[in-house]
Amino acid sequence: MKTEHKYISYRPDKDTYIVSLRVDGKKTYFTCHSLEEAIKKRDSLVELHNLDKKIVSSLSTERIVKAIPTLEEAFTEFVEKDVRPRVALSTYSKYNLCKTNYCKQLGSIRIDRISHEAWQRLFSARQEENHYSKGYVMDDVRRFRAMYEYFISLGIIDTNPFDNPIKLQNTHKVRRRGFTEQEKERFLATAKEYDTQWFIIFSLYFATGARRAELLALRWQDIDVSNKSICIRRSITRGTMDGVYREIVGNTKTVCSVRDIPVSEDMLSMILSLQKEDFKPSDYVFTANKLPKKYEHMSLSNTERVFRRIAQKAKLDKCLSIHCIRHYVASKLITNGVDLSTVQSIGGWKNPNVLLAVYAHSNEEAKRKALEKVIF
């Protein structure tokens, strides 16, 4: 007599189960003393000969159900197996932060049971409660969409709730502003009083517009004395891995970030003044003075602390950050007529559209000069 299990029948007279299926065109039979034994035999034959990947039975269905992970389990596996091997430490940390933020609400629910509507409510609430920009939350949306695609590729689930778009509120994008000339002078004057090495570090930021992670990764072999330039070849990435905060020196942010930046003779002299008699070309230019040193290079976290300390002493606007120095340099170059290609090359921007949309700022003086020249 037939059973509810495909390819399995039961003989009451002998109290046995018969596994019957066709392999390579021939009918094959196997006798088993229990249903569980018959299901195992059937599944092994199906897997061996790739006969039918969609067999469903009471026992095999239970195994499939257990194979579908909760959101927290799924995102952890996705990050560790798919994301971690191919991204920088800073990006890896963003994924883990994303997991922490969203798994508070949905972490214990199986991913196939979280509807598009549930995701929509969560993202909308998160944007509204924290006053996040649309772009910021959409980064999280893309991460979870990729997670579902990962499990679809493994055959664990069939559908992606993110196939329907997540709708978020449009927000007014507040751009960072660059330093003004007066703020720059006040900051550097305070830095000079604070410490010589820090004055040189921040002066180099203002002189090049390079990313702070690039300048702190400079080694003495990257200082080209003959050509009066610094060679950007590495950068520092940071984040939390296995519960520990780390800073790792690696590749630059993009291929376009590898570049040589000219510096003035005065700037070069200031850099060389930090050189010790027993220096090695592989030594970092900027290092911490206090012992013991956690890193061979000056750390990003320490640089941010010192920047904030100096900015506070200089009584600068709290909205100004180290990255605002990069905005200052880009705006300064563009408003003084430097062509876009050259500015892009100096700053190591991959896309000129990003440079114009994000970093290039106008200022009141530039506006007035433009109007006086053309309109007034």
What are the pLDDT digits (tens) for 102-131?
999 899 999 999 999 999 999 999 999 988
Answer yes or no: is pLDDT of 55 > 50. Answer: no
Mean pLDDT value across the chain: 86
Positions of CATH 1.10.150 in the chain: 71-163
pLDDT given for residue 115 in this prediction: 94
78-86 long-range contacts, Cβ below 8 Å, gap at least 24? 78/146, 78/147, 78/150, 78/151, 82/150
> What b/e readout covers 17-40, taking b as 16+ CB neighbours within 10 angstroms?
bbbebeeeeeeeebebeebeebbe
Answer yes or no: is pLDDT of 62 > 60. Answer: no
Answer yes or no: is pLDDT of 374 > 70. Answer: no
Q: Give the pTM.
A: 0.69
In the chain, the amino acid numbered 23 is V
Spatial distance between the Cα atoms of 194 and 182, rounded to a whole number of angstroms: 18
Mean pLDDT over 148-173 rounds to: 90
Please give the biggest Cα pair distance in the chain: 107
* pLDDT bucket at 293, cuts 50 / 70 / 90: confident
Whether domain 184-320 has CATH 3.40.50.620: no
Answer yes or no: is pLDDT of 60 > 80. Answer: no
pLDDT given for residue 340 in this prediction: 85
Mean pLDDT over 340-361 rounds to: 80
According to DSSP, the residues that pair with 229 across neighbouring strands are 224, 262
Answer yes or no: is pLDDT of 63 > 50. Answer: no
Identify the three-state secondary structure at position 335: helix
| DSSP classification of residue 38 | H
> Phi and psi for 77 in degrees, rounded to 5?
-65, -45
Out of 3.40.50, 1.25.40, 1.20.120, 1.10.150, the CATH code matching 71-163 is 1.10.150
pLDDT given for residue 66 in this prediction: 47
Answer yes or no: is pLDDT of 363 > 70. Answer: no
Higher pLDDT, 355 or 272: 272
